[in-house]
Amino acid sequence: MTDYFYLIPIAIALGAIALASFMWSLKSGQYDDLAGAAVRITLDDDDVPQKPDNL
Amino acid sequence: MSCCTLGAGLPAESDNLALDEEVRLASRLIGRDTYQTDLSVPDIHCGACIQTIEKALSRLEGVEQARVNLSTKRVSIRWRDATQPPALIETLRGLGYKCHLDDPDLEEKDGTSSELLRALAVSGFASSNIMLLSVSIWSGADSETRDLFHWLSAFIALPALAYSGRVFFRSAWESLRHGRTNMDVPISIGVLLAFGMSLYDTVHHGHHAYFDASISLLFFLLIGRTLDHMMREKARVAVKGLARLSARGALVVQDDGSRLYLPVAEIQPDMTIWLSAGERVPVDARVEEGSSDIDVSLVSGEGAPQAVSTGSVLQAGTLNLTGPLTITALAAAKDSFLAEMVRLMEAAESGRMGYRRVADRAASLYAPVVHLAGFLSFVGWMIATGDVHRAVTIAVAVLIITCPCALGLAVPMVQVVAARRLFENGIMVKDGSAMERLAEIDAVVFDKTGTLTSGHATLANSHEIDPGYLAIAAAMATRSRHPYSRALAAACDTPVPIRRIDELPGLGVEALVGDATYRLGRREWAVSESDQDAIRDNLGTVLSKDGALLAAFRFDDTLRAGAREAVASLRELGLPMEIVSGDRYAAVERTAADLRISDLRAGVLPGDKTRRVAELTQAGRRVLMVGDGLNDAPALTAAHASMAPGSAADIGRNAADFVFLRDGLEAVPLAIGISRQARLLVRQNFGLAIAYNAVALPVAILGYVTPLVAAFAMSLSSILVVANALRLKGDTKRAHDSRRNIAGVMTIASEGNA
């Protein structure tokens, strides 16, 4: 049983990575325009979401 | 996609200088020499719109970036300061999109939704990991592993609790400080006690720790709260998108004759202002020069436009229709009619003041009972066994098992579903308490102009008029912005060759057709002296040929779509109705007779509207006020619940609890119906939660609740409550075309004010 304890930090780290990437995506404005993201995929230009301004 | 070809090529009606200044006033500085302007463009529908707008705006000189947000139907543009702002509005108009400037003052970024989302993410992460550890403990891990896992859980739970729990702790603290309780108080106490006791047990190698229960409780509650907030945010943005290109300033004539654009707040009495046709009067003023027609419907409720000339006094907020005017300010903005309305609104005893949310009322009964039960089980076990630790454990288990997870979700889940149903039907609700209040109303007060009626004049006697004359009149009318002209132009579209045409503001339109001079407008002006004694009834607008009367037109304000059906279904619900309008008695009576409403008051001043609502309230009625004008705003505030159409004046729309964006008045009974259904479901949910507690409480008091049982019971009751909330049905058969209709109404709403 104790031999598998090394799995625990791995599991928690994986969760933490998922949490961090969610936070990053939230901060970089990827949820600001969900409807727009759905149709922008049909546009040809490369584009990136607008960063919320840091006032 | 056809939706992108709406009304192409509208003429830019406002003065260009004024427009540039408006853009500058509505922009905010976001860096060195870089400004950001937000425009609300209600007609954006598809990917092609995004591409068209972004490309066109990016090509403008000085524009750094243009970004369309399809969800909020807005464009935000960053531009470098040159001598003047880029021609954003003109460009969009050229593409066929109507747009409104977003007020930078209202633009303060609302941090609540992202705070809630972050709290939700953290608590979700923590609860899933703690659950994983808990499962192995429940499956019978040996005591060393259990201790290790408890410690791990504690380390994950502590920061998560500190971060995600703030939402509840803050609100609980606020309410305790004011000597009240709300739902967040028992939640906070339960979560903190559970955590504290688990920590104690972990330190002392106890068997049971409730880390999973306290964090997953937070997680469930945050789901409800986040959904609730997002729904309201969506409604708020949709309502805000209706904000007009309202007067932020005016062209003030300087001593040396030059014109300077000043913000409204800086306009002082005795300043001379140049007001072009299509602009709203910024402050109370007197006409110095020129004549025109003024649309007062939003201000006084009177449907018919009024002719003004030198010496007439104008109220702030009225719309100049036909000719340019030079006016002198009589009062500063803070003393004008609009400010007076705001003061009346503040003075009006708000119908909402004494209202306490259902959830808070429930909490104030529930919290003492639960806390007393926890305390009694502690005392009981102390007397029975004398074991302090055991008694505390059981008391905490009682608090956890009864902790109002289901109660915390009972109200918000129902309201989220109800708000969603309303949204699908084009009705925006400001907050959950509005829905609770609407379910309680037992009387309805209507405004007339713009609420029961559409606010657009239509030709009432077209069948009495010679089609040839009608064609000439309609052709002449296309040249004027006067509402009656628009109604005439809409009545007939046979082309008539016109040689020359002039609009004389305040009088009418004069045209040369063949060799004859036709005049369309005021009777006194169009018809020569000798014919003056002709029938003088409602027929004030006439068509004449060389001074001889040809036809007289009568205009009517048509009923709003669905007004009859709406009034009929309200009558079925047994709600007494009355009309309180600022319009003339005859006009109000016509509408009232049409709708078979017997109770009516005409020529009512704004203050008296409020008084009428207050009278009804004192008589024990809970009044729903439905109105749209500036003059209705104080009454909207005073009423127990209020609704306004999307075409209402900004201030009225802000005062109302509900805003309906579709044209039809059916929104009123629909909203009442959904609110009442929501109230029923909330009651059922409370019933479910109480039934659950009745079963769980004895089990907890007897000391049989392990963390496993607690986790099970909590999830089960939450699922039950959510499932019950989803039973709420609304009339959604027309939901698919809601976007179209909303855009349609927005277009109509903005047309008259562009």
pLDDT 10s digits, B573-610 = 889 999 998 888 888 888 888 888 888 888 888 888 88
In angstroms, rounded to a whole number, what is the distance separating the alpha carbons of residues B363 and B42?
41
Query: Does B42 have pLDDT greater than 60?
Result: yes
Asked whether residue B243 is domain-assigned, the answer is no
Find the chain A residues whose C-beta atoms sit closer than 8 A to any C-beta of B.
1-2, 8, 11-12, 15-16, 18-19, 22-23, 26, 31-36, 39-40, 42-43, 45, 50, 52-53, 55
* Same-domain check for residues B584 and B448: yes
Domain termination residue (choose one: B282, B310, B340): B340
* Same-domain check for residues B305 and B194: no
pLDDT at B102: 65
Per-residue pLDDT tens over the stretch B421-468: 888 888 888 777 888 889 989 999 998 888 888 877 778 777 778 888
**CB-based contact B636:B656 (threshold 8 Å):** yes
B46 touches chain A (CB under 8 A): yes
Inter-chain touch A15–B125, beta carbons under 8 Å? yes
Give the residue ranges of DSSP H helices in B302-444: 337-347, 358-385, 388-402, 405-424, 432-440
Per-residue pLDDT tens over the stretch B529-563: 545 454 444 456 888 888 788 888 877 778 888 88
More confident residue, B164 or A45: B164
**CATH value at residue B493:** 3.40.1110.10
Asked whether residue B40 is domain-assigned, the answer is yes
Residues with Cβ within 8 Å of B547's Cβ and at least 6 positions away in sequence, in order, are B519, B526, B527, B528, B531
B residues 664-683 closer than 8 Å to A (CB): none
pLDDT at B83: 67
**CB-based contact B490:B520 (threshold 8 Å):** no
Query: Does B391 have pLDDT greater than 60?
Result: yes
Give the three-state DSSP class for B409: helix
Inter-chain touch B69–A40, beta carbons under 8 Å? no
- For residue B573, what is the DSSP state? T
- Which residues of B are known catalytic residues? 447
Asked whether residue B189 is domain-assigned, the answer is yes
Nearest to A33 among B47, B70, B114 (CB): B70
In angstroms, rounded to a whole number, what is the distance separating the alpha carbons of residues B230 and B75?
21
Label residue B674 by pLDDT band (50, 70, 90).
Answer: very high
pLDDT at A49: 57
Label residue A51 by pLDDT band (50, 70, 90).
Answer: low
Nearest to B50 among A8, A31, A43 (CB): A43
Exposed e or buried b for every residue in B398-434, given b needs 16+ CB within 10 A?
bbbbbbbbbbbbbbbbbbbbbbebbbbbbbbbbbbbb
In angstroms, rounded to a whole number, what is the distance separating the alpha carbons of residues B644 and B626?
6
Query: Does B355 have pLDDT greater than 90?
Result: no
**CB-based contact B597:B588 (threshold 8 Å):** no
Domain termination residue (choose one: B108, B123, B147): B108
Inter-chain touch A1–B145, beta carbons under 8 Å? yes
- For residue B333, what is the DSSP state? G
* Same-domain check for residues B434 and B564: yes
pLDDT at B163: 93
Inter-chain touch A23–B72, beta carbons under 8 Å? no
More confident residue, B179 or B382: B382
B69 touches chain A (CB under 8 A): yes
Asked whether residue B606 is domain-assigned, the answer is yes
Label residue B672 by pLDDT band (50, 70, 90).
Answer: very high
In angstroms, rounded to a whole number, what is the distance separating the alpha carbons of residues B42 and B50?
12
Domain termination residue (choose one: B108, B126, B148): B108
DSSP states along B2-40 = GGGGTT------S-HHHHHHHHHHT-EEEETTEEEEEEE
Take residue A9 and report the two structure tokens written for it. Answer: 């930090």
CA distance A15 to chain B (A): 6
Per-residue pLDDT tens over the stretch B242-292: 655 455 677 788 777 777 777 777 788 888 888 877 777 888 888 988 888
More confident residue, B715 or B329: B329
**CATH value at residue B623:** 3.40.50.1000
pLDDT at B740: 41
Residue B278 CB-density burial (10 A; 0-12 exposed, 13-18 middle, 19+ buried): middle
Query: Does B631 have pLDDT greater than 70?
Result: yes
* Same-domain check for residues B69 and B124: no
Nearest to B70 among A11, A12, A35 (CB): A35
In angstroms, rounded to a whole number, what is the distance separating the alpha carbons of residues B415 and B430?
11
Question: Which has the minimum average pLDDT: B136-145, B159-168, B230-239?
Answer: B230-239
pLDDT at A48: 60
> Looking at residues B70-88, what average pLDDT do you find?
79
More confident residue, A1 or B180: B180
**Number of Cβ atoms within 10 Å of the Cβ of B357:** 16
Print the domain residue range for B656: 427-455+559-660
Output the 3-class SS for B200-234: HHHHCCCCCCCHHHHHHHHHHHHHHHHHHHHHHHH
Residues with Cβ within 8 Å of B331's Cβ and at least 6 positions away in sequence, in order, are B269, B283, B284
Question: Which has the minimum average pLDDT: B261-265, B320-324, B345-349?
Answer: B345-349
Q: Which residue has the tokens 């609420």?
A: B451
* Same-domain check for residues B608 and B623: yes
> Looking at residues B60-85, what average pLDDT do you find?
81
Exposed e or buried b for every residue in B109-131, given b needs 16+ CB within 10 A?
eeeeebbbbbbbbbbbbbbbbbb
Per-residue pLDDT tens over the stretch B472-531: 888 888 777 777 887 888 777 777 777 788 877 777 888 888 788 888 887 777 777 545
* Same-domain check for residues B570 and B499: no
Query: Which residue from B397, B485, B498, B467 is spatially nearest to B704, judged by alpha carbons?
Result: B397
Q: How many residues does chain B have?
A: 754
> Looking at residues B26-36, what average pLDDT do you find?
76
Per-residue pLDDT tens over the stretch B7-24: 333 333 444 556 677 777
* Same-domain check for residues B438 and B567: yes
CA distance A37 to chain B (A): 8
Average pLDDT, chain B: 79
Asked whether residue B667 is domain-assigned, the answer is no
* Same-domain check for residues B291 and B229: no
**CATH value at residue B333:** 2.70.150.10
B residues 71-130 closer than 8 Å to A (CB): 71-72, 76, 109, 114, 117-118, 121-122, 125, 128-129
Sign of CA dihedral B635, B638, B642, B647: positive
Residue to mutate among A4, A24, A33, with most B CBs inside 10 A, is: A33
pLDDT at B349: 59
pLDDT at B154: 94
**CATH value at residue B79:** 3.30.70.100
Sign of CA dihedral B387, B389, B392, B396: negative
* Same-domain check for residues B101 and B128: no
Quote the Cα angle for B456-B624-B246, to 5°: 45
CA distance B62 to chain A (A): 18
Asked whether residue B730 is domain-assigned, the answer is no
* Same-domain check for residues B285 and B384: no
Query: Does B569 have pLDDT greater than 80?
Result: yes
- The answer to whether the complex's ipTM is over 0.85 is no
> Looking at residues B372-390, what average pLDDT do you find?
88
Query: Does B226 have pLDDT greater than 50?
Result: yes
CA distance A35 to chain B (A): 5
Residues with Cβ within 8 Å of B653's Cβ and at least 6 positions away in sequence, in order, are B239, B242, B644, B646, B659
Asked whether residue B684 is domain-assigned, the answer is yes
In angstroms, rounded to a whole number, what is the distance separating the alpha carbons of residues B53 and B37?
15
Q: Which residue has the tokens 């068509």?
A: B543
Asked whether residue B614 is domain-assigned, the answer is yes
* Same-domain check for residues B122 and B216: yes
More confident residue, B340 or B3: B340
* Same-domain check for residues B572 and B547: no
**CB-based contact A50:B76 (threshold 8 Å):** yes
Take residue A15 and report the two structure tokens written for it. Answer: 């969760």
Query: Which residue from B490, B427, B450, B64 is spatially nearest to B235, judged by alpha carbons?
Result: B427
Query: Does B741 have pLDDT greater than 70?
Result: no
Inter-chain touch A55–B30, beta carbons under 8 Å? yes
Nearest to A42 among B47, B76, B132 (CB): B47
Give percent above pLDDT 70 in chain B. 88
Report the number of distinct structural domains present in chain B.
Answer: 5
Query: Does B700 have pLDDT greater than 50?
Result: yes
CA distance B33 to chain A (A): 14
Per-residue pLDDT tens over the stretch B724-736: 888 887 554 443 4
The pTM for the full model equals 0.76
pLDDT at B669: 92
Phi and psi of B281, rounded to 5°?
-70, 120
B532 touches chain A (CB under 8 A): no
